[in-house]
Structure 1
Amino acid sequence: MTKENLNKFLLVGLLILVLVFLGLWLKTRASETPATTLTIDNEVPVISVAKEQTASTASAKTPENGSVTFTATASDDNGDSFQLFVCKTDSITPGANPTCESGASMCNSNETDSGDAAVCTYNLPDDTTTNETQNWYAFACDDNGCSDYDPNTNGSQGNPGTLSDGSQSPIYINHRPDFTAFTDDTGTDGLEPGDTVTWTVTFKETDTDNTVDIYVCSSDSWSEGGGCGEVELCKTPVRDIAGNGTTDVVNTDCTFDIPTVKKDGDYAAYGFVVDNEGLASRLTYIAEGSSTESKQKTDSVLRVANVTPNVNSGTVVITTNSERITNPSDPNFLISDNELLLTSTTASTTTAYIKYTAQDYNGCGTDELPVDATQGNRVLSTVGFFRGGCLLNSTGVDAGAPTDGPTCEVSDWDVYDGSTGYGSNAYMIQQIDGGSGTIVSGAVGSCVRVTSNLPNLCTNTGSGDKIYETGAQSQIDIICTFPLNYLADPTTTDSYYEDEDWYPVITVMDTSPGGNTMFHSYPTDISQSSVAQRAGGWENDTVTIPMAQSLQKEFTVATIAYGNVSVGGNASDDASTKLVNKGNTGIDQKVRAGDTDGGGGTNPEYMCRATEYPTCSTTTNDDEKLPASYQKYSGTDNFVYESAGTALTNTLALMTDTHCLKPIKTNLLPEDYIYWRIKIPDTPTKKAIQYKGLNTISAIVSDSTNWY
């Protein structure tokens, strides 16, 4: 048998043997139940949709400290629950605790049933980088694996979603602008009421397509949609931002008009920089590697200056009639007199008034003058009234006065010094100490704020503690009352100072809470220290008024007593009459015999028997009549009858050898005497009886060259 046949024989035998044994085994197992096993492979959850709940787009960005909520629906063929993981990179490590790459985790959801929507929220940090977008990748994971969402990626990136429904990456991030500098131009000294304040705002906007709005608010609050929490002082849109993210932007377009009447002091003005998405600047920003305080919500400290008060020139009224300044129904209301008339009798005063309107654009205050300067923002007034030719300065020189005339020294502002009486050319009506705000003693009048009738009563005095508050008033009417003395220098025609007028000088001042005293003098072209100047040098609208002449006198001797005189003997001794000048002019005297020029009056020009005068009814003979010519008069005492003096006539004759000077001080009143003598000639014969007659003495205003 060949080797090949042998192999075939063995193979057939082996096959028969296997079949026999198989048959025997099947026969023995015919009554048993076999066990079966099967292992089903794990299927990863499959995401059907993954997206941002609110789409983050270029036109609807997510703020840097905001949040993005992701949602994803996944199903698991094994029925397992799943978790949603969102990563910054397209990579995740599956397992019992799936993890994004280091630093790439954004958020992950709780365990979610298959088929339900899983949700997780990513909170953007406040100190995020300047990247304007952030890619995201969504994964649905169970304990054994994570979804293979797209054939081309291991997540949702690349899935054909859209930005508008949030199913497409990336997130668009809106960064807060950096607010680096905030100042206003009020400076240390401040701006005046009515001025425009300008803020300088420096900021940096890191997002290339953003714009910003600048707000200045009256309080430190601002909210998106609500704007300034209190009052918006200004808002400026900045739409053209060159060099976004690389260059500081300096803007000076935000301005505010300070109310025209505003109390001086510091006011709050808070700055806010907000981008077009409504995202305000952060309170700190990174500068040169370190955190720096932002100017967001900081106060620029808007300062309103203390301004100089003033007198409205068109409001000054000078009068001796109170109706002109206190009664609006008077037809001459607020019109000065044509001239000041001294209506008083001899050696007395006439009440005079100066009304004016003081104005302070910091507000006119509430208290009557005077007030303590520490209260601040109160108008105080030093008021004088003087003849314009008086140059009030330390030299006491009146440039227009005669050598022996009155001086106009600064001390004369006090008007009364206790020894020389009232002056004739200067009146200190009220004087305020600029440091203390109190009245200086020695003035002759007073000034008070008007509380009724007149238009400027300053009834609304408060301008509020907020810069935007308005309604305060700046003007207050003030009336000064003072006694105008009878010897005040007249300035009307034929007066010594006829080329001058009288001037009110009003120095208004206020003292701010900071202690700075501000002065303004009316007229405006005089200074605080030199409060007058020559007539003709004033501003055109300065109110002046002439002082009228007032002839006032007193004769203190009523009888010319010649005594006993012998016929043909010597002349009598001097008899005298005395005149005292109590007006404001010089005085000359005129004399005559009898009461009527030319005679024929009730009192004849001759003297007759004393018991018969003035009728002289029984006097029929000339020997009982003494003609007027027997009497002589002179301005010099002890004159020689035969060679001096002037014979008396029945016609008024002006005395030319004596003049009564004008008064300068009240207790230095000028006096003027007329000296009289009589002599009886030998013939014709006169009876030895007592005679009586009447001489008339009249006073007239003398030529002004004889006043001093």
Structure 2
Amino acid sequence: MKRISWLLERLPALVLLFVVGAISYSVVADSVTTQVTVANTAPSITAGPIEDPTSDATTPTNVGNQVTFKATASDSNNDSYHLAICKTNAITPNGTSAPTCDGGSWCVSSATASTVEASCSYTALSGDAESEAWYAFVCDSVSGSTCSSSSQGTGASGSPFNVNHAPSFTVMSSTSADPGGTITFTATASDADIDTTSDTVLLVVCSAAGATSSGCTNPADQLCISTAVASNPTCDYVLPAVHQSGDTSYYSYVYDSHNMGATNNPFPAKTYSVNNVVSSVSTVVLNGAADISLTAGTTTNVIVTGSVTDANSCQNISTMQASLYRSGVGYSACDTVGELNYNYCYSLVSCTVVGGTCTGSTDASTDYTCTVSMQYHADPTDISTVYVAENWLGTILATDSGALTSTAEAVTAVEVSSLTAQSVDALVSYGNIGLGENTGATNSSISVTAVGNVGLDTDLSGVDMCPDYPTCAGDTIPVANQKYSTAAFTYSLGGTALSTIATEVELNVLKTTSDATPASKLLYWGIAIPAGIAPGTYTGANNITAVKGETVNW
């Protein structure tokens, strides 16, 4: 026993040796590693999934609107999760990224914290079926992510969602009638949706744009509204005993039984017809019979006024339009929108009714004001211009609701005055030049742009340059040391010395014919620095004055 104790003291961890008589035993103790994998558990849906609002056969989602899906999920690992609304009952998790619906998705939410509601939305398309099944999954957003089994919700807010398609609206027509008679409006319209019950269509007709399935936005504009029918709705409008003549515009709308409008609401403008007589235009005055003075580089409002009389009341006039033109062009070449040219023709400018005129349907006469925005480069007709033998006239065109027209031209013609105007760069910068040196073949240049309605030459003059301009108490660079030219030049070989006396330069800037690309020319400059002056920055002023150019150079 003493020997056993002695061995135990010396081999406490590894070997126990027992000696009993002639027999010995040993016991060896091993260290065993333990291991277990804790699996990621898929999140589970605790609330929903639902459509919010419900999208079913009774309250389907209109094409272009969204159906929103909502669900709340809990993850035992407290991982965030994605809500995926799939088209089929199959999904593939994608780690920390959004999962992939194997058969396509309606929508997938962003990562959402466990126990917090997730949502995503889908915009209904015209190509969707009336009933579309969906399968909701929740997948945790972690490496090795897993997804729940699918759920289609329950009841009306569960799968499927329903899509309502717009009705078809292809043709709109109306009859004609005398005042006091009945106008019948007919729409060629139908709706192909048949889920649960077939959709019906309804027609709304207004005298001004704006309507819902309940009627015209402004009740005063409502001509008629039909009952809901399977196809081709009609409605009647009884004309007042006194009514505007000719064709009167109306706006038509078709809606289905779920209040969805046709995609082409309102139908392109149509008119209904009442017996009509031609109107008469009179007293046309252009610019108050005064000559027109334009504004450099921008537009000037020129007013044309006139009156119109219609036996079917002043309200029978649908449009009044003014055309303003050079007399050599004439109204016949300036009576369509396509003939617009800002140099000589301003065609079909809309007019407005003068307040206090046309007091009602029993009033035959109306006064109009037409504002024409004339560009600064409109052709002048005063002296020393290309079109000195011409002038400017205006014509007003009246169109009644029956498309009958009448015109009248201003009795008094006016002139458009010459506008001699330029826009010039603000600085001639010669840079750094040494004492006793000149610019050589390197020129500075400035652009002279015609911002009036004539071609331009220019008067040039200047003053000495000095560091303390305009005092010039010390050193100066004489004005004559500056040279200019209408083309690039070498200082020692060309250019004209600048003077204090204005000198006309035949710059020959063309007359501007488009405000988008005004005509311009460059003036080139050079300078020589005297040898004996102090270094520094010398400043002066060159005067560049616009001069009306000879017409041959316009």
TM-score scaled to structure 1, two decimals?
0.35
User: Of Structure 1 and Structure 2, which has the larger fraction of its residues in strand?
Assistant: 2
